[in-house]
Amino acid sequence: MPLRDSQTAEIAGIRDEWQPAGAYLNTATYGLPPTSAHNALLKALDDWRTGRTSEEFWEECTERARAAFGRLVGVKPGNVTVGATVSELIGLLAASLPDESVVLLADGDFASTIFPWTVHQDRGVVIKSVPLASLSEAVDAGITMVAFSHVQPASGDVADLDGILAAARHYGALVCVDGTQACGWLPTDAAAIDFYVCHAYKWLMSPRGTAFMSVSPGRLDRVRPLHAGWYATADPNNNLFGMPLRLAPAAARRLDTSPAWFFMGGNRRCAGARRAHRGFGDIQARLGLGRPVSSSLMFAVRQVADRFRRCPRCRTSSGACRSTSVGARWSCARVVSRLQYGA
């Protein structure tokens, strides 16, 4: 299918914004920052070094990032919480579950998507785990929360989001989706999801330390603002000292973690680049690819590397070697970096 002129222009924009040392295939591990974001980060660090920076500037960066994430997933900025990691944001939700809640997870999902729930087993929270493809069938009236990655980091498998949401709605279960491996290339309407969590350092190509969570307005009261501090108030700079507690009313920022200044600065410049990247996703969709080329390739490379990797100590293939997994990981990384950097 021929590309439209606007798509050709978008591809040219993408080419100018990224300068990898070779073909880069590893966005599922971390996305490369666009040049404009990298420059913004360098300038921010320099301003910090020379004392030319100000709190107001960082707040502006944070609020722009919050709004840009909201636009991307179809929710208002007031419904977006700012944090630093997925595990921290999901931890907030998990800590707010009543004792004896039942959480349904996907087998083999990422540790940060599943461990925050699992640590609550000692207070009676029950964890159930089923294959990703069986999630919607496994929802029943006994389930409190269904939590899963929209795109599985180990396989690239895409969850049947609509099916799971319909089942959860039918039985009154809450849904928490981790969009870290999806957001940026797989358009998602977060307004339909109770909690949509995302770290921005992969497909949103931002620095690590910038994570977001959209909270559907009717669910805000269910989450205890465990990170409450000056930034969880409606007007942070006028709420720095003393009692009483004054959280932002009816806004997801009451769940905020005080922002990681520099990283939000780098994130701020990603808005245009994100659009370009989304264009890239559209093009791939038009070519009939269900997931990003680079992500698919990385999973394939990983699988090949896993088969042929050798333990550097005993030289047997890693499948036969029980002594170390470090060497196996190293040789897998070598294969990936050879492809990316020609190294």
Ligand X SMILES: Cc1ncc(COP(=O)(O)O)c(C=O)c1O
Among 183, 209, 168, CA closest to 277: 183
Question: Which one of 101, 180, 214, 294 is in contact with ligand X (CB under 6 A)?
Answer: 180
In Å, what is the CA distance from 149 to each residue of 35, 67, 109?
Answer: 29, 23, 7
In the stretch 118-157, what mask flags binding to ligand X with x, by CB under 6 A? Answer: -------------------------------x---x----
183 binds ligand X (CB under 6 A): no
Given phi > 0 = left and psi -120 to 50 = alpha, else beta, which region is 262? alpha
Q: Which of 79, 85, 233, 340 binds ligand X (CB under 6 A)?
A: 85
Q: Apex CA 107: angle with CA 143 and CA 292, to 5°? A: 110
Which is closer to ligand X, CB of 188 or CB of 233?
Answer: 188
- Is residue 190 part of the contact set for ligand X (CB under 6 A)? no
Among 53, 113, 233, 294, binds ligand X (CB under 6 A): 113
In the bound state with ligand X, the residue whose beta carbon lies nearer, of 101 and 206, is 206
Is the Cβ of residue 108 or residue 187 nearer to ligand X in the bound state? 108
Collapsed DSSP state (helix, strand, coil) of residue 300 = helix
Work out whether 110 is an interface residue with ligand X (CB under 6 A). Answer: yes
Using CB under 6 A as the binding rule, whether residue 206 contacts ligand X is answered as no
Beta-strand runs (E) in 59-206: 80-83, 102-106, 126-130, 145-149, 174-178, 195-199
Q: What are phi and psi of 337, to 5 degrees?
A: -75, -30
- C-beta of 215 vs 248, nearer to ligand X: 215
- Counting residues that bind ligand X (by CB under 6 A) gives 13
Q: Which of 278, 236, 272 is nearest to 254 (CA)?
A: 236
Taking the least distance from each CB to ligand X, the nearer of 8 and 325 is: 325
As a whole number of angstroms, the distance between CA 97 and CA 143 comes to 12
> Which one of 7-15, 108-116, 228-236, 284-292 is the stretch in contact with ligand X (CB under 6 A)?
108-116
Distance between CA atoms of 197 and 189, rounded to whole angstroms?
12
> Least separation, in Å, of the C-beta of 211 and ligand X?
6
| Sign of the torsion angle spanned by Cα atoms 213, 217, 218, 221 | positive
| 188 makes contact with ligand X (CB under 6 A) | no
Judged by CB under 6 A, the stretch of 5-13, 79-87, 92-100, 254-262 that binds ligand X is: 79-87
Q: Which sign does the torsion angle of CA 315, 321, 322, 325 carry? A: positive
- Nearest residue (CB) to ligand X, 82 versus 86: 86
211 near ligand X (CB under 6 A): yes
- Rounded to 5°, the CA angle 53-55-58 comes to 85
Binding window for ligand X (CB under 6 A); candidates: 67-75, 175-183, 230-238, 314-322: 175-183
Interface positions with ligand X (CB under 6 A): 85-87, 110, 112-113, 149, 153, 178, 180-181, 199, 211
